[in-house]
């Protein structure tokens, strides 16, 4: 039984569209990520350059304003510091603002409480010194040159915004050195990047939809002819060879369609020719078989008369009469089997099922054929169920199968025992016939049911077979919806297993008897 496949696995168009969209998704994501990264870096670079230029101007102005109050009183210096702070920042705003932080640098051992100098520390919007990156403060405390760093800025409200910190050391008369920081918020730049990101996402989604639509349109042009070809091929398998593909263009698909139609025409012609040859062959075999029956009947009557008077003849002539009768019997059997083969070939063979006891049929076949054993030491042993085995099948055909199997075993047993085993289930009955003769090679097993084929043509046989027995037995078994299996090994003999449904025409669910006898359990054998 084939495993059930998903709808995706059954649709070529779906697989192509899905794979194309997934690959496109990867390309769009990589392209969008690279573009967003470049835009982000570009915006940060432009903002950094402008912010640094602005910071240099602010710091220069602050140092200049502080120099103007050199020697002034503390109140005047306080007023000047306040003016500088106001001119350097946008007080009362958050997003898009320029914040300023002024922190006094204390000497060793000095702090806010014990310092004798005024402290003009300041922070716009009540920003805390903790918001300044520690690495940047370490640089400013050691260097006079301007330094910068990108870091988050947190407001009193808890809102965090990306920002650029630019710092430099300054001196205020009468107070000492200070760390002065300008904080440029990047809210506008972040909003721009968010807009760019959303635009890229929207563009990517639209692009993927367009790619999927385009892929569907392209694939449809390719898959539609393929589906049509599959439909027509399916009709071919049903025996309808009148269907053809419609070719409406001159492209590669049209070339494929023309080649497909030519192939269909050629196959139809070949099948018609083979059917005619088969009919001629069947008619020939049937006609020859029927035409030979009349002279064969005459020969039979004449040979019977001669055979009845053989005691009055010379011993040589008497022996010739016996051989003549035996060969006529063989010839008659060959004609019967040829007629049966012609019925199978013409598919006119029909079953005539009746109810009968299967074990009794097996014993009858053994009793009828046991008298022609190759040597007096030979015996047939049988293992059967204790209770009767009733089946509904064609008695004549089942009997013919068993006679062929037992006769074949007798021919190849070389005087060794023959074992017959029968088992039954609720739905089928199986019987095996095994001999212990020379056996068969692996290559012989593939041809053992071929017509007129013999494993050893030079081998002398007591009954002179026709080479059609096993072939007819296989056809009889399959006519019942049964099976006939063969096993053999050099030096170990051969084994044939017949499996039939309890009711002819029903399906068999398995093999109650394995064809390999080595895989069976030991059983008690009843000798007859």
Q: Which domains does the chain have, with CATH numbers?
A: 14-193 (3.30.450), 267-344 (1.10.287.130), 350-527 (3.30.565.10)
Check pLDDT > 90 for residue 184. no
What pLDDT is recorded for position 10? 59
Check pLDDT > 70 for residue 304. yes
Check pLDDT > 80 for residue 416. yes
Using a pLDDT cut of 90, give the percent of the chain over it: 7
Q: What average pLDDT does range 286-311 have in this prediction? A: 76
Q: Taking a C-beta distance cutoff of 8 angstroms, is the pair 18, 202 a contact?
A: no
Three-class secondary structure of residue 512 per DSSP: coil
- Per-residue CA distances from 145 to 84, 95, 166, 168 (Å): 20, 28, 11, 6
**Residues 6+ positions from 512 with CB-CB distance below 8 Å:** 423, 424, 425, 428, 429, 430, 499
Q: Rounded to 5 degrees, what angle do the CA atoms 336, 338, 341 make? A: 115
What pLDDT is recorded for position 25? 82
Please report where in the chains the tokens 């009767």 appear, as a residue.
Answer: 388
Check pLDDT > 50 for residue 236. yes
Q: For strand 418-424 and strand 380-383, is the pairing parallel, antiparallel, or unpaired?
A: parallel
- The enclosing H or E element of 500 equals strand 493-501
206-232 residues labelled b (16+ CB within 10 A) or e (exposed): ebbeebeeebbeebeeebebeeebeeb
What pLDDT is recorded for position 423? 92
What pLDDT is recorded for position 519? 76
111-126 residues labelled b (16+ CB within 10 A) or e (exposed): eeeeeeeeebebbbbe
Q: For 89-148, where are the alpha helices, taking DSSP H only?
A: 134-142
Q: For 238-350, where are the alpha helices, taking DSSP H only?
A: 252-308, 315-345
Q: Taking a C-beta distance cutoff of 8 angstroms, is the pair 91, 83 a contact?
A: no
Three-class secondary structure of residue 346 per DSSP: coil
What is the C-alpha to C-alpha distance for residues 14 and 219, in angstroms, rounded to an integer?
A: 9
Closest CA to 127 of 159, 96, 104: 159
Tens of pLDDT, residue by residue over 98-137, are 788 888 887 776 766 666 788 888 888 767 778 888 888 8
Check pLDDT > 70 for residue 11. no
Q: What average pLDDT does range 259-269 have in this prediction? A: 80
Q: Taking a C-beta distance cutoff of 8 angstroms, is the pair 424, 501 a contact?
A: no
What pLDDT is recorded for position 50? 83
Which stretches does DSSP call E strand in 406-458? 418-424, 428-435
Closest CA to 431 of 399, 454, 461, 467: 399
What is the C-alpha to C-alpha distance for residues 145 and 139, in angstroms, rounded to an integer?
A: 9
Ranges 49-58, 228-237, 517-526, most confident = 49-58
What pLDDT is recorded for position 498? 93
What is the C-alpha to C-alpha distance for residues 272 and 277, in angstroms, rounded to an integer?
A: 9
């Amino acid at each position: 039984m084939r495993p059930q496949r998903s709808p995706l696995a059954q649709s070529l168009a779906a697989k192509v569209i899905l794979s194309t969209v997934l690959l496109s998704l990867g390309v769009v994501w990589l392209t969008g990520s690279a573009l967003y990264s470049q835009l982000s870096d570009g915006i940060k670079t432009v903002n950094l350059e402008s912010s640094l230029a602005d910071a240099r101007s602010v710091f220069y102005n602050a140092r200049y304003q502080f120099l103007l109050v050199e020697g002034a009183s503390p109140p005047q210096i306080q007023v000047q510091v306040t003016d500088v702070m106001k001119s350097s920042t946008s007080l009362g705003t958050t997003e898009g603002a320029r914040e300023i932080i002024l922190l006094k640098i204390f000497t060793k051992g000095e702090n806010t409480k014990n310092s004798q100098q005024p402290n003009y520390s300041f922070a716009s919007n009540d920003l805390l010194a903790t918001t300044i990156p520690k690495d940047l403060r370490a640089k400013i405390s050691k260097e006079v040159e301007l330094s910068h760093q990108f870091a988050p800025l947190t407001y009193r409200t808890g809102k965090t915004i990306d920002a650029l910190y630019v710092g430099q050391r300054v001196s205020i008369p009468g107070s000492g050195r200070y760390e002065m920081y300008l904080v440029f918020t990047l809210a506008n730049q972040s909003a721009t990047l968010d807009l760019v990101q959303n635009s890229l996402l929207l563009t990517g989604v639209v692009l993927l939809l367009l790619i999927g639509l385009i892929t569907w349109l392209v694939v449809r042009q390719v898959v539609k002819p393929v589906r049509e070809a599959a439909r027509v091929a399916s009709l071919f398998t049903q025996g309808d060879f009148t269907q053809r593909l419609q070719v409406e263009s001159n492209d590669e698909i049209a070339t494929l369609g023309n080649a497909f139609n030519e192939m269909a025409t050629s196959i139809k012609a070949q099948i018609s020719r083979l059917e005619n040859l088969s009919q001629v062959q069947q008619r020939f075999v049937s006609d020859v078989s029927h035409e030979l029956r009349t002279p064969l009947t005459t020969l039979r009557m004449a040979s019977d008369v001669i055979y009845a008077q053989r005691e009055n003849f010379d011993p040589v002539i008497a022996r010739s009469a016996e051989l003549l009768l035996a060969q006529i019997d063989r010839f008659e059997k060959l004609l019967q089997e040829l007629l049966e083969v012609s019925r199978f070939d013409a598919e006119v063979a029909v079953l005539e099922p009746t109810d009968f006891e299967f074990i009794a049929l097996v014993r009858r076949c053994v009793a009828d054929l046991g008298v022609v054993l190759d040597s007096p030491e030979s015996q047939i042993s049988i293992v059967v169920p204790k209770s009767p085995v009733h089946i509904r099948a064609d008695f004549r055909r089942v009997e013919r199968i068993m006679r062929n199997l037992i006769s074949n075993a007798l021919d190849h047993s070389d005087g060794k025992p023959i074992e017959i085993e029968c088992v039954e289930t609720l739905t089928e009955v199986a019987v095996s016939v095994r001999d212990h003769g020379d056996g068969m090679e692996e290559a012989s097993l593939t041809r053992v049911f071929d017509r007129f084929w013999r494993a050893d043509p030079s081998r002398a046989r007591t009954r002179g077979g026709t080479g059609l027995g096993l072939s007819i037995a296989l056809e009889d078994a399959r006519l019942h919806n049964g099976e006939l299996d063969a096993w053999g090994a050099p030096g170990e003999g051969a084994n044939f297993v017949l499996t039939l449904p309890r009711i002819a025409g029903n399906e068999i669910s398995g093999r109650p008897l394995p064809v390999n006898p080595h895989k069976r359990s030991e059983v008690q054998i009843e000798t007859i």
